[in-house]
Homo-oligomer: A and B are copies of this chain.
């Protein structure tokens, strides 16, 4: 069975795909509609983003299970201080009171994105807002890498898992975008549930070796990721055996051998999150299928300079 949404991410000899990470986090607020719009407007039709459920069961696009203090401001325009409330404890309407248009430059996280435009009155989007955008005629070539963010507190709750996957699929199917969506997660149990409920949607397996450090300010997903200690060279096989279509390793984890093995197994190799020029060059040299980046323009520049493409004509 050939999945069009898998082929949309597959590279070639002179083709490495570019995937906008949370839209284009280096340029615009992450997981915002304006960020998705920008990425599509520059000819990068592959979008990665994160989905979490609100208390009233609305799939929204945001990265962390808690409102992320360095990017969430309250109604008074102040970045959150103290305990970050859980997304799942708030209704969609309550979450709309927060503004995600700026970064707190006092935090290590904020300092990572010195070029990001700063806006006001930017709100957490619903998953369906993005799905509707993708359905616009001018975005007919766009494809989605939809990350389901598994709640670590509920990682072993099968009822939650079923209902989360079901709720997300309702939106994807309701907007007719099943053939343009990949389901993507660090949580292999959740991906198994995706396959059970939606055999027609390919799955994408995020991995990160325990020895490689997380970027500052990121919500680690290592607790829900399998333990790969001692199995580094087997990961592509594990993904294949689990029924995955994509292997999505942290870029620092891959080697020429592991990329070659994954490709031999028919997997798409999609690396994240590649922002530094030397890392971009290395990933292009390795001919990964696709590069997930906060700076899609920067990766385009690298490919353009090499006479390579990121899209087929």
Contacts and interface: CB of A to CB of B under 8 A. Distances in A.
A308 to B, nearest CB: 11
A295 B118 CA distance: 12
Interface of A: 26-28, 34, 37-38, 41-43, 102-103, 105-106, 110, 113-120, 277, 295-298, 300-301, 303-305
Identical subunits present: 2
Main secondary structure of the interface of A (DSSP, over half): loop
Contacts of A116: 297, 301
A115 B119 CA distance: 20
B27 A300 contact: no
Given A27-B27, A105-B305, A118 B297 contact: yes
Contact of A301 (B34, B38, B118): B118
A26 B113 CA distance: 15
Contacts of A277: 114
A304 B118 contact: yes
A56 to B, nearest CB: 30
B105 A300 contact: no
Given A43-B117, A113-B301, 7 more contacts: A28-B42, A28-B297, A43-B120, A105-B305, A115-B297, A117-B297, A118-B297
A100 to B, nearest CB: 14
Contacts of A110: 305
Given A28-B42, A105-B304, A305-B105, A296 B117 contact: yes
B298 A114 contact: yes
Given A27-B27, A28-B42, A304 B102 contact: yes
A285 B13 CA distance: 50
A97 to B, nearest CB: 19
A298 B301 CA distance: 19
Contacts of A114: 277, 298, 301
B42 A300 contact: no
Contacts of A297: 27-28, 115-118
B298 A115 contact: yes
Given A42-B28, A105-B301, A115 B115 contact: yes
Nearest to A120: B43
A86 B114 CA distance: 38
A115 B295 contact: yes
Contacts of A113: 301
A148 B298 CA distance: 31
